[in-house]
Amino acid sequence: MALLNIRPATVADAGLILRFIRELAIYEKAEQSVQTDEIGIAESLFGADATACALVCEANGEAIGYAVYFYNYSTWLGRKGIYLEDLYVSPEKRGSGAGKALLKYIARQAVAEGCGRFEWSVLDWNTPAIEFYTAAGARPQDEWTVYRLEGEALKAFAG
């Protein structure tokens, strides 16, 4: 049994996090969507204006996964919440408890900080992730559809 350790990521982890992001993008069939680099990760996660947080999960000293999250807000609850942007464990290390440990780490933080919600999105075809989250007690919010403005559409609308 591997000894798992979850720790807050540091700027020195920017390259590692980028590697995990690329691995996740490949798994999600969206490798071409990764447009950042190590400098972008370092600035966005660890710079003065950073609004997201990152964790690294290690097994026996080896980095095997990561999570990135940020705070959101519910007007209905009148409380902040946590939104999980990424949760990833290297394929050969899945089943080790690392994903559950990362999820629990953030859930404990949400409870300790009085957050009203802990939520995330999952691709509808990602059955292993859906089963993992359902087993943790999470429930899908089927009545909501995510909308996005990005790239040229965002610029055009803003103009």
- Residues designated catalytic: 133
Alpha-carbon distance values, 132 to 49, 138, 149 (Å)? 33, 9, 29
- Burial class of 117 by CB neighbour count within 10 A (0 to 12, 13 to 18, 19+): middle
Kindly give the pairing relationship between strand 79-89 and strand 118-120: parallel
To 10 degrees, the CA torsion angle through 104, 14, 154, 30? -70
Gyration radius of the chain over CA positions = 16
- Burial class of 127 by CB neighbour count within 10 A (0 to 12, 13 to 18, 19+): exposed
Quick check: 10 and 55 in contact, CB under 8 A?
no
Give me 9's structure tokens: 């990521």
